[in-house]
Structure 1
Amino acid sequence: MVHSGKRLLFLFFLLLPAAPTLAAGSLHPLKLVLPTRSVCASRLGVLCTGVNLEEPLRARVGIALSGGGVRGIAQIGVLEVLQKHDIPVDVVVGTSMGSVVGGLYAAGLTPQEIWDFARRIRWQEILIDRPPRSHLFLGQKRERERYLIQLRLQGPFLRPDIPLAFTPGQRLTSTLTAAVLSSPFGYQTRFDCLPIRYRALATDLTTGQPVLLAKGNLVEAMRASVSIPLLFTPVQKNDTLLVDGGLVSNIPVEQTYATGADLV
């Protein structure tokens, strides 16, 4: 009798979550409706396996965001229109500036918040990693004004140390970091675990092949995809040097389909 009572108690607590689904006179068998693991992962950030346990009842919508420099920010307007008409987005793949817009959107920022972030950026300062003149001592100001171009000399023969790019991109990295830290899900290291599945497209500088970044540091992924050769230094990931994804695919439509979208 004791064991029978325990079994009944266990069955009661097992069926309790399904109580709202029971209707008087219903001829359908009992059905437990539980959230899929992928929903728990992407919406709550608690658990992520990268496996969809339940097929969606609609086609997956994907967005391919292109490069184009500062003009690529205008693509935020597309996100605003989709949001206005309640069109859900399941996949975002971005190249260059599109990877920045898409990455922030996938991490939980609204289109308006991305607009506000873009307006606060002083784009000319992004290209200059030197401290502003107002932050220098008087002697440093005079020293800077004496030369148009400065090069370091290295080695016993004092050979000029020519940099890999115009700027190391430290200010760009700092700017992207500040934006990602303000997003709800910027801490995720697996881009399938973001509210919207995300990929950043970069280019392998050595082989010239496309590299689709699906995990790692979100700031690093965006920074790699936006690294215009000779303007920003490449981003090293393991043994690979990554530069702007626009060199191989400025509009990553194929990559968006490959990431799981049915409609792009």
Structure 2
Amino acid sequence: MASKTQVTLPKASGEAFNQKEFPFTNLVMEGGGAKGIAYVGAMKILEEAGIMKNIKRFAGTSAGAITAAMVAVGMTSEEILKEMSEVDMMKVVIDGGGPLPGVFKKVGMAFNVVCSSGANPGNRFLDWMGGILEKYLAKHKHKDLGKDVTFSQLYQAFGHELCIVAYNVEYAQETYFHVKTTPLMKVRDAVRMSMSIPVVFQPYELLGFKYMDGGLVANYPVYCYDGWWLSMEKGDTFQDRMGDKSDAEVKKMLSPENKKERFGGPDHERMETLGMLLFSEELDREQYEYVFQDRLKKLAEEDQAFKKRRPDTEAARAYLKAQAERDKFNHDAVAGFEESLMLLQKVNDVWKGSNEDNLRDNFMKAFQPGTFKATLSGFDNEKAFDALFPKFEGQHRTNQVVESIMTNFAVLQTFKHKVIGERQIQTPLQLYGSLLDFFGKNYSPSKKDVARTVGIDVDYVGTMDFDMAPEDMNFLMEQGASATIAFLKGYTDDQ
């Protein structure tokens, strides 16, 4: 039965900050698939705080690119929510297999993967994105631009710079679509390229090049407006910066390894950018998530209204079930490694009480047949002995393998299960989401970046959870609002 809950903007307000001064003129959003709805709640707070009206440069990857394009054409949080809540996003993004039911549609999508390198062509999304751009351009008296508005036209009409990041397959590096780099590129084409999740979507082909999800190489391009690469200032043209360079110097400058040469700027310039990223303690960890969690914890302690409240939805229940199974698995795994350590200690004791002549006999007497089958890949005691105390021609047996397992392997695996835990992957969409989350960590924010980043805890919602309930959408937006308020409070307190 469909939920009767309405999708609404969060009640939390950013008006308490509208008399404060903030340096932010750039807004950059991380990719995150379905989790991107959280940005709508964050936008509401920025609007009420008086910050959005000062933003002139927008950027994003994948889901962040969608939101960035929307706000770049003047859409408000309320308008973005209206457009996203009135459609079934799963049907918008998943359009492979044709108008076929059930298993036949899946067969069609599989055929697309084999023949077109992706299950979904993304044409429905392209039409949807174009329709939204056309609608809101007309609202702002730019009917002449339409769905195929280019980066240059957007800049001329609004004075807004927009940067969309995608991965160029042929060049094997990211492309920053922007009025400076690609003035005649259609905005909706660039957004479609940026959200081309591998296998899920077919690569987008244009002018002989194939493009895929920007999250593969730059999921959080918070740096994109640092430095001179996208600067529109006089003296920062590519002619000025590269015209007198040798081919070798330009090649070095353009290589991904030397990104800092293009995107390195002074601290005061860096603080003009406000970034937003999405994280989950269980599903999508961030290096500095403890900083974001501390902000949220402090806010919730000051006002209980900001305490995270997970709704009772199918997605949330599935997450809790998986979490319980994961906790049990990790608990059992830790217990298993602790038992293995005790067993290895006994093995080591046998070593200490033996010499090379009686070591094998003492080992066989000390352990019942089959003792090591559960811990050493099904080895019987003879194979276990040879593996634990290897002997090579001209050498004596040693206990180095036993000591290494005790002090390295077993300790590392125990801590992995205690601290990190395993993430259960049971469906293809979960697999794709997990891979995208992994690739998206290729650029982790630095400690300096954290100071200009709103970290949004999306909790139980995954990258590919497009088929979410209204309560899930409301939860994400509330999380976006809370994280933004927590950031602004921390920022103003530090000034």
TM range (shorter): 0.5 to 0.7
Q: 1:163 to 1:61 in 2, by over 3 A?
A: same
Supply the AA of the counterpart residue of 1:246. Answer: G
Per the alignment, residue 192 of structure 1 pairs with 155
Q: Which amino acid aligns with 2:210?
A: L
Give the drift of 1:252: 0.8
Note if contact 1:129-1:171 (Cα within 8 Å) is conserved in structure 2: no
Residues 164, 230 of structure 1: 8 Å contact kept: yes
2:68 corresponds to which of 90, 102, 108? 102
Matched letter for residue 149 of structure 1: V
Partners in 1 of 2:55 and 2:35 — Cα distance?
Answer: 22
Counterparts in 2 of 1:149 and 1:197: CA distance versus 1, 3 Å: same
What amino acid is aligned across from residue 95 of structure 1 in structure 2?
Answer: T
SS in 2 for 1:82: helix
Instruction: Indicate the larger mover: 160-169 or 250-259.
Output: 160-169
Task: State the TM-score, normalizing by the size of structure 2.
Answer: 0.36
The percentage of counterpart residues that share the same residue type is 21
Give the aligned length: 192
Q: Answer whether contact 2:166 2:212 (CA < 8 A) is retained.
A: yes
Q: Call closer, same or farther: CA 1:61–1:168 in 2, change over 3 Å.
A: same
- Residues 202-236 of structure 1 show CA distances to partners (whole Å, capped at 9, x for unaligned) of 11112321101113211101111111111111122
1:131 deviation in Å?
A: 5.0
Provide the rounded CA distance (Å) in 1 between the counterparts of 2:114 and 2:122. Answer: 18
Q: Report which of the two structures shows the higher radius of gyration computed on alpha carbons.
A: 2
Q: Kindly state the Cα deviation for residue 121 of structure 1 after the two structures are TM-superposed.
A: 2.3
Letter in 1 for 2:95: I
The answer as to 2:86 corresponding to 1:120 is: yes
Q: 1:255 matched to which residue of 2?
A: 224
Structure 1 counterpart of 2:155, one-letter code: D
1:171 aligns with 2:124: yes
Q: CA separation in 2, counterparts of 1:147 and 1:103?
A: 31
In structure 2, the CA distance between the partners of 1:195 and 1:114, relative to structure 1 (3 Å rule), is farther
Contact 1:92 1:256 (C-alpha < 8 Å) held by counterparts: no
Contact 1:151 / 1:162 at 8 angstroms: preserved in 2? no
Contact 2:97 2:107 in 1 (8 A): no
Deviation at 1:192, TM superposition (A): 2.8
With the length of structure 1 as denominator, give the TM-score of the two structures: 0.64
Mapping of 1:75-224 within 5 angstroms? Answer: 75-87=39-51, 88-126=54-92, 127-130=94-97, 132=99, 149-150=107-108, 162-184=115-137, 187=146, 188-189=149-150, 190=152, 191-193=154-156, 194-214=158-178, 215=183, 216-224=185-193
1:16-31 equivalence runs, <5 A: none
* Residue matched to 2:336: none
Cα offset for 1:132? 4.5
Q: Equivalent residue for 2:202?
A: 233
CA distance in 2, matches of 1:108, 1:166: 33
- Asked if 1:244 is matched to 2:213, the reply is yes
Q: Which runs of 5+ in 1 are unaligned?
A: 1-57, 134-140, 154-159
CA distance in 1, matches of 2:95, 2:220: 28
**CA separation of 1:111/1:151 partners in 2, compared to 1, >3 Å: closer, same or farther?**
closer
Tell me how far 1:146 sits from its aligned partner: 6.9
CA contact (8 A) 1:102 1:198 kept: yes
Q: Is the 8 A contact 1:99 1:201 kept in 2?
A: yes
CA distance 1:103–1:162, change in 2 (3 Å):
same
Q: After TM superposition, give the deviation of residue 149 of structure 1 in Å.
A: 2.0
Whole-angstrom CA distance in 1 between matches of 2:28 and 2:123: 27
Cα separation, 1, equivalents of 2:177 and 2:105: 41
Relative to structure 1, the CA distance from residue 147 to residue 249 in structure 2 (aligned partners, 3 Å threshold; closer, same or farther) is closer
After superposition, give the CA deviation of every residue in 1:24-62 in whole Å (9 maximum; x if it has no partner).
xxxxxxxxxxxxxxxxxxxxxxxxxxxxxxxxxx95611
Residues 78-124 of structure 1 show CA distances to partners (whole Å, capped at 9, x for unaligned) of 22211111111121111001001010110121111111111122122
Q: Which runs of 5 or more structure 2 residues have no equivalent in the other structure?
A: 1-21, 232-268, 274-495
Does the 8 A contact of 1:129 with 1:170 survive in 2? no
- Of 207-216 and 98-107, the range deviating more from structure 2: 207-216
